[in-house]
Structure 1
């Protein structure tokens, strides 16, 4: 663990219907030797549609220069439209 990269971020996000969403907001990655790895984060999983209420799963993956990886998952919940 001590020399491995890490990804930090929320495990769950609740957003309002129609809100702007960026999958990398609040996500950070670093490595004790390589430093900031934020630009190396790969995002996978569901495409979050903020105009479709529901639950979406997003995965994050990062690797350091030694090809050691770290993963993180976030659940995004889009609320219902209150105008209907």
Structure 2
């Protein structure tokens, strides 16, 4: 899940500590699972708890939902990253 990848990136970058971070996703179910009390499918329980832990550790990060139509640039970057196998955060 891309949210998990983003959490790994902000936790591994010391320059981001202490800064507010918003991670946007067009997957409403994932955002609700992470921000709510439920974990959705049992298949995702470890992933959801891991993301919740990352948010708690950072303290100033949050997950937000945005519609797929408004997420076209992020979607394009994610597809490029998947095809090229690289990270775009430097």
Q: Same fold (TM over 0.5)?
A: no
More helix by share: 2
More strand by share: 1
> Highest CA radius of gyration, 1 or 2?
1
Structure 2 length as normaliser, TM-score?
A: 0.24
Structure 1 length as normaliser, TM-score?
A: 0.25
